[in-house]
Amino acid sequence: MEEIAYIVHPAVVTLAGALLGALYFAFLRWQTQVGSQRVSLIVGAIAGAIGATMLTAPLGYCMFQGDQTSEDVMVGWIMVGLGLLLTLNIGSVVLWRYFRGQRLLPRGDTTPGAFRGRFGLVYALAVLSPTILVLVYFVYLPMFDTLRFSTFLARFGAPRTRFICVSNFSRMLGDLDYHSNLFLSFALSFGIIIIAMSLALLIASMLNQPIRGANVYRTLLIWPYAISPIVAGSIFGLLLGTESGIVNRVLDLTLGVKVPWLVTVPAAQISVVLASVWNVIGFNILFYTAGLQTIPKDLLESASIDGASAWQQFARITFPLLSPFTFFLIVTNTIYAFFDTFGLIFVLTRGGPTESTFTAMYRVYVTGILASDIGKSTAQSLILFLIVVGITIFQFRVGQRRVQYGNY
């Protein structure tokens, strides 16, 4: 058998993972002073070894082989890191629950016993099978395909594909255009989320006042959310064209100026943000309106009797009580801004001028659908997926400490 030359040998990767896992678990043991020293070391080493190899071994450690570039090796180490993050976190939670004698899974509130008996499991599976089938066919299999294709050079309609290890990923490491696409995704998303949420809260607060015809306003304000991003893009295209746009027509007649909304920087970026805000704001208003109605009137009443100003009432009572809604909206708005705006961008600016509105998700669309280059585009979509998972975990960690789920 031919000897494969490695830049980093798989054994080294495995040992490094095991060492790191053992060290981390030893640290946890020292910090918590719970459980057996020896067991935590052993379990830590196993979890570390699994973490280091779970993503690299299925690809045959190809990224560490002699003919790979230094970027490929770096991607390999990132995969080791991701695997370790996963196994060490899950491993430590499980092990310390065991050490503390807790149940491994928290018991749910549901009444037990519904599916007990001889054919309980069969019956449960039979009832669940339509959902499971749909999930497997439309979610899990495509996800598996995405994972697989990301390691290939592949195109729709091509008679063959070629395994290229992690080249699709390592290429992105050095691709400055892709970096700016990613940065742009963050910047535009940040703008969309901040404006869409604060404006929605303002409008929802105004709607919550006793005004005549509030229901009509509410319906009209929620309307834009029923419109797909593509259509929203078309509407704003008609509004914002330099020569033929309605906005510039009005500006020209009143102020004598024309703003090249869609073809200059940063006007194009602002246009994309505003169009997205308009598209998503109805959703936010809906939830904030619902949220405001859950806030007990007596609380605000007593505050105002005690002499709290309107601002104080908002800052100290209303806003904190809305925090579950705010938290939910931040998560959904992040997902919207990252994943759903590409249709709007496609219609409005095609990523231009000079790629100044070319977000990472738009790149996925252009590469995968317009150019049929599915290997690269699945790799790009996995990166986006990881980023959004990361952001969501971060939001949950930060958010849950500050969110107050009141029991009123």
Partner 1 sequence: MLRRLVLFLILMTLATGAFSTALAQDVIELEAWVAFSDHRYDWAVDTADRFNALHDDINVTMVSVVDYDTIVNNYTLGREDGTYPEIVQLFDAALQFAVDSDWFSYAETIIDGRDEVLGHPVNFDDIIPVISNYYTVDGIWASVAWNTSTPIMYYNVELLEQAGIMELPLTWADILDACVALQPLVDDGTISACATWPFSGWFIEQWLAQQNEYMVNNENGRAGRATEFNLDTDAYRAIAQFYRDLYSNGYFIFEGQDQWGPPTQTFISGKTAIMMSSSAAARAISEGAAATGFTLETTPMAYNQDAPSGWVGNILGGATMWISNGLDQAVEDAAMAFLLFFSNTENSASWHTASGYVPVRNSSIELLKNLEPGNEILWDIPSGGRVDIEAADWYAAFPNFLTASTQLGDSTVNNATRGSTYGTFQQSRPYYNGLVEEYMLNGGDLDAMIAETNAELTELLQEYNFLFADE
Residues 323-352 that bind partner 1 (CB under 8 A): 349-350, 352
Least CB distance from residue 162 to partner 1, whole Å? 7
232 binds partner 1 (CB under 8 A): no
Q: Is 242 in the site for partner 1 (CB under 8 A)?
A: yes
Q: Which stretch binds partner 1 (CB under 8 A): 11-19, 132-140, 154-162, 283-291?
A: 154-162
User: What is d(CA 366, CA 156) in angstroms, rounded to the nearest whole number?
Assistant: 14
159 lies in the binding site for partner 1 (CB under 8 A): yes
Q: How far is CA 304 from the centre of its chain?
A: 40
Six token digits for residue 52: 């280091």
Cα separation, 370 vs 382, whole angstroms: 18
Compare residues 3 and 243 and give the one whose CB is closer to partner 1: 243
Q: Which span sits near partner 1 by CB under 8 A: 37-45, 148-156, 218-226, 328-336?
A: 148-156
262 binds partner 1 (CB under 8 A): yes
- By beta-carbon proximity to partner 1, the closer residue of 161 and 332 is 161
DSSP secondary structure letter of residue 7? S
Q: Which stretch binds partner 1 (CB under 8 A): 1-9, 143-151, 153-161, 336-344?
A: 153-161
Residue 369 in the binding site for partner 1 (CB under 8 A): yes
Residue 152 β-bridge partners = 163
Part of the chain binding partner 1 (CB under 8 A), chosen from 72-80, 235-243, 308-316, 318-326: 235-243
Specify the residue, 97 or 258, whose C-beta has the smaller distance to partner 1.
Answer: 258
- Establish if 259 lies at the interface with partner 1 (CB under 8 A): no
Ranges assigned E (strand) in 57-203: 152-153, 162-163
Residue 370 touching partner 1 (CB under 8 A)? yes
153 in contact with partner 1 (CB under 8 A) = yes
Distances (CA, A) of 372 to 125, 153, 308, 331, 392: 38, 11, 61, 31, 30
Range 289-308, binding partner 1 (CB under 8 A): none
| Count of residues touching partner 1 (by CB under 8 A) | 31
Q: Does 371 bind partner 1 (CB under 8 A)?
A: yes
Residue indicated by tokens 């078309």: 234
End-to-end CA distance of the chain: 71
Instruction: Pick one of 241, 320, 324, 399: the residue that binds partner 1 (CB under 8 A).
Output: 241
Nearer CB in complex with partner 1: 13/154:
154
Q: Would you list the DSSP string of 195-240?
A: HHHHHHHHHHHHHTS--TTHHHHHHHHHGGGGS-HHHHHHHHHHHH
**Side chain identity, residue 31:** Q
- The Cβ-side half-sphere exposure at 353, using a 13 Å CA radius, reads 10
Least CB distance to partner 1 at residue 355 (A): 7
Given 186, 258, 267, 314, the residue binding partner 1 (CB under 8 A): 258
**Bridge partners of residue 170, in order along the sequence:** none
The Cα angle at residue 204 between residues 202 and 205, in degrees rounded to 5: 65
Asked if residue 112 has a cis previous peptide bond (ω within 30° of 0), the answer is: no
The per-residue DSSP string of 128-186 comes to: HHHHHHHHIIIIIHHHHHHHHHTTEE--TT-S--EE-TTHHHHHHHH-HHHHHHHHHHH
Stretch that binds partner 1, among 34-42, 104-112, 159-167, 390-398 (CB under 8 A): 159-167
The only residue of 160, 212, 297, 401 in contact with partner 1, by rule CB under 8 A: 160
Query: What is the distance between the alpha carbons of residues 25 and 30, in angstroms, rounded to a whole number?
Result: 8
Binding site for partner 1 (CB under 8 A): 153-162, 241-245, 258, 260, 262-263, 349-350, 352-355, 366, 369-373
